[in-house]
Amino acid sequence: MEEKNLNIKDLIAYSESGVLSKVISKDENLDITLFSMAEGTEISEHTSTKKGFVYVIEGNGIFTLEGKEIKMLPGVLITMGENMVHKLKAEENTSFLLVLAK
């Protein structure tokens, strides 16, 4: 992985509605993406073929993992195994890092 020195908070931007994503780093072993969800936005139920985690930077939302609701508040870390069903809802503008490992 190429070395980077970034201030993630400087990269956060929100649309009026919807989701913005920015790939921070990607290689054969690790994908890091910054997501910014506008208030009221939802990401429907889906799975990932990779294990990983979500780290909430700012905002307030609900992350539903395998039917269990988890509050998305700053500093919360949510770990996921492969093929776990999850969905998200931003109750206010919410940003998080998604890190997926192969």
Q: What is the CATH number of the domain that holds 92?
A: 2.60.120.10
Q: Are 65 and 76 in contact (CB under 8 A)?
A: no
- The fraction of the chain above a pLDDT of 90, given in percent, is 92
Q: Is the dihedral of CA 81, 33, 71, 47 positive or negative?
A: negative
Mean pLDDT of 30-52: 96
Residue 32 has pLDDT above 80, yes or no: yes
Q: How much is the pTM?
A: 0.92
Nearest 5°: the CA angle 95, 2, 53 is 35
Domain assignment of residue 10, yes or no? no
Q: Into how many domains does the chain fold?
A: 1
Mean pLDDT of 8-24: 94
Q: What is the DSSP track for 13-46?
A: ---SSSEEEEEEEE-SSEEEEEEEE-TT-EEEEE
State which residues form the domain around 68.
18-101
Domain assignment of residue 49, yes or no? yes
Domain assignment of residue 46, yes or no? yes
CA 27 from chain center: how many Å? 18
Provide the pLDDT confidence category of residue 6 given band limits of 50, 70 and 90: confident
